[in-house]
């Protein structure tokens, strides 16, 4: 795997390592943080209540629409 170098301010480096342990590399910590962020985004998307209706309201609308 190709290795690269990125420049970080010292305070950013210290904040990254607050999330890691002695045995973890910066790559390990950053990958774990990214996976956590991705999971959080998915959770936020799935739990988003914008433009939703209650089950009771949806059933009422469906019954009204499909009455014979």
Express each pLDDT in 40-64 by its tens digit. 999 888 877 777 878 888 888 888 8
pLDDT tens sequence across 9-23: 999 999 999 999 989
Parse the chain into domains and list their residue ranges: 10-65
Neighbours of 32 (CB within 10 A): 13
Burial of 34 (0-12, 13-18, 19+ CB in 10 A): exposed
CA distances (Å), origin 7, targets 4, 11, 21, 40, 44: 10, 12, 21, 27, 31
């Amino acid at each position: 795997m190709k290795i690269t170098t990125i420049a970080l301010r010292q305070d950013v480096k210290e904040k990254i390592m607050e999330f890691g342990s002695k045995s973890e590399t910066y790559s390990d910590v950053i990958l774990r943080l990214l996976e956590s962020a991705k999971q959080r985004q998915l959770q936020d998307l799935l739990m988003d209540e914008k433009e939703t209706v209650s089950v009771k309201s949806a059933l009422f609308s469906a019954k009204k629409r499909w009455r014979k």
